Amino acid sequence: MTRKFIYICIAALLLLSQLNPRDALSLTVGEEEKMGRSILRYIYQQYEIIDDPAVVDYVNKVGNRIVEGLKDPLFNYRFHVIKQDAYNAFAIPAGYIFINSGLVAVMDGEEELAGILAHEIAHVNARHISQKIERSKKIGWATMAGMAAGILVGAAGGAEAGQALATGSQAAGAAAELSYSRDNEMQADQLGLSYLTDAGYRSEGLLKILKKMRSKQWFDTEQIPTYMRTHPAIDDRITYLDTQISGTAKPSETRPPVSSEDFARVHTYLITRYGDENLVLRHLQAEVKKYPQDPMAHYRYGLILARVGRKEEAIEQLRTAMEKRAFDPYILRDVGRVYYSNGQYQQSLKMLKTAQNMIPDDAECGLYLGQTYMDMGLFDEASSVLLDVVKKHPGYTKAYFILGQSLGKQGNLGDAHYYLGVYHTRRGEYKIAVVQYRRALKYVKDPDKRKKIEERLKKFEEALSKKR
């Protein structure tokens, strides 16, 4: 058993043991929120959550479009993408919804994403998670901890390991106690269809992605999708959805996607940056041969070539895309990014500055422009650009690290250590964060900044002392 699984077992035991053994559905909204925040911390510590603003903003826009149609939602819903190839999506208490990057990668459009998110929102809104927790109280606490660990591990993409944990906890016969029931799944599908219609989406998206997961049709992998293991009776659900959709009224107003191009951009991003590089390379190489006149085929192929280190070929493909689709700022940005990674800073600077004039709020454009300035020794320019990035995109973890480096080279050691502290805080590396905050206090003179740093330092020092 790895340390990761042990942590999750301990976390599950601690979280579940905090609940009082009361009657069904006695778990309050406040208790569920507390549990959700605690589980969220463990997920952030154990799994890589994609924090790229383009991905985060888009997925949350789609999810919140669905939530807007709910009557008096119990929770403030938040949507996260986990870097995992496994086909899965899941919810934890209090409206935290997770979807694996691998599942988004096999989708063809926004309606499929909306379908999955609507289903998971329905699980939360119908209090299915609360019901699972309450039902599980008839199981012994130690057994339940093992079961919860198994389910959480499986949900996050390690299905085999999760199953082993659950089975090894004397819970082979009680596994259903902590998994969604057939009725839960059917209700979530029914509610999900209603949510989709209210949000102006066609309901076929959910059915389409379920069929796609069952057939494993993208890269023809041998893997059984994790979603099929954590969401039971998928064949029955497909039959049910087919029947429901055929007899369901279409949206009174079919609204356009959140953005006509955002899905394609995010989809490309996830495939080329986080997908299996060998599989993606073969897939996109075949695509560019099949569609030689499609600029986006050259664009995608160029991105994966850059990822595998074939920089000159990547630039060639990206320039072809740029010739066929002039003035596309995202292609300009990525040509600049590849030039940067190849050490061609002047070419990088030209492309990135042009792109930034067209998309001034793009986080990645700002990040690479800042890095280019920094590596050219233009530290004032670098720090200015990077400060703007973290101001506009405070959730972009990587930007804090680059900013800290730039400020340090600029000679601003107080702010440099502070932003490095923020970076390690966001990564859950609290011991390192404390060291950085202590160093920042040696240099910072401004009383307001010192107070802010001292408050952060006190918070994390107290948290670390409780763990000893």
pLDDT in tens, 43-102: 887 889 999 999 999 999 999 999 999 988 989 999 999 999 888 899 988 999 999 999
**Is the pLDDT confidence value at 222 over 80?**
no
Are 199 and 114 within 8 A, CB to CB? yes
What is the C-alpha separation between 318 and 344, in angstroms, rounded?
A: 15
| Predicted TM-score of the model (pTM) | 0.82
| Contacts for 300 with CB less than 8 Å, ≥ 6 apart | 268, 271, 272, 284, 287, 288
Of the three residues 200, 218, 246, the one that is the final residue of a domain is: 246
| Least confident among 209-223, 309-323, 339-353, 418-432 | 209-223
For residue 5, is pLDDT > 70? Answer: no
Q: What is the pLDDT of residue 323?
A: 94
Q: What are phi and psi of 97, to 5 degrees?
A: -110, 135
pLDDT tens-digit profile of 21-37?
A: 334 445 788 888 888 88
Q: Has residue 40 been placed in a domain? A: yes
Burial of 83 from C-beta contacts in 10 A (0-12 / 13-18 / 19+): middle
Residues of the chain with pLDDT > 70, as a percent, come to 77
* Residue bearing the bigger pLDDT, 86 or 300: 300
Range(s) of the domain holding residue 459: 412-468
- Using the predicted structure, report yes or no on whether residue 381 has a pLDDT greater than 50: yes
Q: Which of 225, 246, 267 is the last residue of a domain?
A: 246
Q: How confident is the model at residue 462 (pLDDT cuts 50, 70, 90)?
A: confident
pLDDT per position as a tens digit, 251-263: 555 566 665 688 9
pLDDT computed for residue 145 by the predictor: 47
pLDDT, average across residues 186-201: 92
pLDDT digits (tens, 9 = 90+) for 194-215: 999 999 998 899 999 988 887 7
Q: Using pLDDT thresholds of 50, 70 and 90, give the confidence band for residue 464.
A: confident
Distance in angstroms (rounded) separating the CA atoms of residues 68 and 116: 16
If pLDDT is split at 50, 70 and 90, which confidence band does 423 have? very high
**Picking from 90-99, 256-265, 432-441, 448-457, which range would have the lowest pLDDT averaged per residue?**
256-265
| Domain membership flag for residue 311 | no
pLDDT at 177 over 50: no
pLDDT at res. 136:
61
Split at pLDDT 50, 70, 90, the class of 41 is confident
The residue that leads in pLDDT, 278 or 230, is 278
pLDDT given for residue 256 in this prediction: 65
Instruction: Give the span between the Cα atoms of 392 and 361, in whole angstroms.
Output: 7
Least confident of 69-78, 147-156, 186-195, 301-310: 147-156
Maximum average pLDDT range among 72-76, 168-172, 183-187, 402-406: 402-406
Last residue of a domain, one of 196, 211, 246: 246
Q: Does residue 228 fall inside a structural domain?
A: yes
- pLDDT for the residue numbered 444: 95
Establish if 234 belongs to a structural domain.
yes
262 domain-assigned: no
Averaged pLDDT for residues 439-444: 96
Tell me the pLDDT tens digit for each residue of 330-346: 999 999 999 999 999 99
Q: With bands split at pLDDT 50, 70 and 90, how would you rate the model's confidence at 239? A: confident
pLDDT band at 155 (very low <50, low <70, confident <90, very high): very low
Dig out the tokens for 101 from the structure: 């990057």
Q: Is 301's pLDDT higher than 60? A: yes
Could you tell me if residue 96 is inside a domain? Answer: yes
Q: Indicate the pLDDT class of residue 433, thresholds 50, 70 and 90.
A: very high
Per-residue pLDDT, averaged over 428-453, amounts to 94
In a domain, 109, yes or no: yes
CA–CA separation, 76 and 94 (whole Å): 8
Q: How confident is the model at residue 2 (pLDDT cuts 50, 70, 90)?
A: very low
- The span from the CA of 218 to the CA of 279, in Å, is 10
Residue-averaged pLDDT of the chain = 83
Q: How many domains, the chain?
A: 2
The answer to whether residue 78 is domain-embedded is yes
**What letters, b where the CB count within 10 A reaches 16 and e where it falls short, cover 308-336?**
eeebeebbebbebbbebeeebbbbbbbbb
Q: Which residue has the higher pLDDT, 38 or 285?
A: 285
At residue 95, the pLDDT reads 94
The listed range with the strongest mean pLDDT (1-15, 181-195, 380-394) is: 380-394
